[in-house]
Chains A and B, each alone.
Chain A
Amino acid sequence: MSFPWANQYQPQHPLMKWLDEKLPMPRLVYNAIGGGYPVPRNLNYFWNFGVLAGAALAIQIITGIVLAMHYAANAGVAFDSVEHIMRDVNAGWFIRYAHMNGASMFFIVVYLHIFRGLYYGSYKAPREMVWLLGVVIFLLMMATAFMGYVLPWGQMSFWGAQVITGFFSAIPVVGEPVRVWLLGGFAPDNAALNRFFSLHYLLPFVIAGVIILHIWALHIPGSSNPTGIEVKDEQDTVPFHPYYTAKDGFGLGIFLLVFVALTFFVPNMLGHADNYIPANPLSTPAHIVPEWYFWPFYAILRAFTFNFLWIDAKLWGVIAMFAAIALLFFLPWLDSSPVKSSNYRPLYRKFFWLLVLDVFILGWCGMSPAEQPYVIMSQLASIYYFAHFLIILPIVSRIERPEPMPNSITEAVLAKHADAASAATA
């Protein structure tokens, strides 16, 4: 599970020796995130985002448990109980705003984490399982975030629940019964609110469990690095502690600065004013959009405005939206290039940035009203999204000629230092 030169855990204090014999928890921590885990010496700041995502989950769980002490999951009083948290509970406004913006921060760092993986080829062998578990975590996060958004029982909550559960009604024959079963009614009401609250409380702990598997799977081959070259010997690595605990600690400080800036100065910037209107089953808000982190997928959902083959537009939209994420499960096998890092892939690198641009365009379309020119833009951007993974990536990985690569991580690091030194003297 680790390299042969990894530091060994050696308890000094008699109590720690005793504990190590009975329950080697400190040994586990030491080997996972302490001096016993050798990590490539050349990780850049993009390798912070895994730890930051873990911190974001911890913040969500802590603030969420506290909010659940004051929230009432009943359609009659849910909205009022959230206002009670905002006005009456000691520091309730802070805790709720932290939870709201914590969800956004969680998605920001996870999206950066995913694009880091896409750029540096972290999904490739021997780390396919790490990637697959990561996609599972992403799906669980989306489900959790959606159900949490329903709980305040405002207009956006209600109509979000209506639209999202409407996805299931697109399934032929069984769709409508499935939707009614999921909601426990014909429209979102008390039954739906209660089960969403129950699951919203459960899923973060499921996410925590899958994160443990994600880290376990990561620690078998060890962390990837910006060169994509695997670790060859001891001089390629440094112990996780203190080198990366310090580096992650610095990143965590920056993360928290952004987080508190959002929470204290613009707590509602990423939300929708309509959600401060109590749920009204008889009136849909004029412009209904999901939270920002769902915009790209929402654009793909709405891109199908026409029936195609024997399937109607509604079902196509739902299939396309789920396929956009399901596609990621096949990524390790769609990209057959043996070179991991885009630093040495001149052609893929260009397409990577085009994909980033494409996702931003999709996000912009998802935020905008369902009218021209956004419809045609989201159609073209959706086509490109799928083309990137299904056509461009397999072809590029076959025809591309990678740039010359260093022999080892250490060689790459020393070359960089030599460059810097010659630049300094020149």
Chain B
Amino acid sequence: MQDRAIIHLNVTDFAVAVERIQDSSLKRVPLIVAPARAARALVYDMSEEAYRDGVRKGMRLNLARKYCRQAQVVHPQPALYRRAMTALVKRVVHYTPLVEQGEEDGHLFLDVTGTHRLFGPAPDIAWRLRKQLLNDLGLDPVWSLASNKLVSKVASRIVRPFGEYIVGSGEEHSFLAPLPLAMLPGLKPEEMKILADFNLQRIGQLAKLSRQQLHVPFQKRSTYLYDASRGRDRTAVLPGRTGNARIVREHVFEEDTGTYSEIQSVLTMLVHETGRDLRNKKMLGRRIGVSLTYSDGKNIIRQATRKNGCDNDFLLRTLAFTALGRAWQRRVRIRRCILICDRLVPRPQQQTLFVMQTRREQQQEKIICAMDTVCNRFGNGTIYLG
């Protein structure tokens, strides 16, 4: 079997990198991306200089400003980052259709196995890509090349924020062995605690344990740890965004909110966008999930389902409110709200012979149709349900 060649591209501090392309004067100062107007804003992203001063993602902005007094703060522009990510992917797919991307975070996995005759050796592709991204977009990614996603990701972690690393096939074990266990992706905090109890500090020490031995403390997770500590990873590079087909819409509150009506109105807005998306794709959604991020960073997701799929904003909104009621159980403000519509099914092309809709549903459909027309003409956000 042919050795795989997986390239991991990572534009470090993606939001900062995009902001600096947008405004070159920001290159000279430490940068924090956060909603500066809000009193209780959290850090969305930060530059390497700010990171070195102690600023971290999710930290309170006023605290971050104390850690890095000279930092400039810019307002996050998720739409811009989304566009930049799309541009990034557009340049990469030229080399391979097997490109896996994260959520606007500047991470890409490329499976370039077997493309030697077309584009030359894998390291050449990586070099070329880096140069192209630098020239076309002004983004300078870290890249690493290995035989699987896990090792290439660890390699990127070693060299970030700048540089490249190639782990040859068969060298995975020796590459990982001297590294601290914290470098291994996917280790949970409680697993780290157990490993510390055994006084295991490095990946190589973990790799000395047999599969049976690892089964003692880690049970089902022992297989992953056994393989990971030896640099084995058979997971495929999944094209497109990770996960199944679904529509995801997100809203980050500038200032965290505890008002139910405010969250309901945001959900209504997200529902309308999702509904439009469904209608454009001629799909129906059967499940709505509402994911809430509380002020302290804790997440919760709850769903509401329908037997028959729908793309009707009114029905979707009812589902979303049900999910919201299930999700918001803590007495804590909400920082971020994500609406996920999944279990998508194609809309039946053939119309039913008899009119099954009630008069009210027909009226609702007309309203939705009119709203879509307004939005198509004047842009998103022009009109929403009250």
> Is B truly associated with A?
no
B residues neighboring A (CB under 8 Å): none
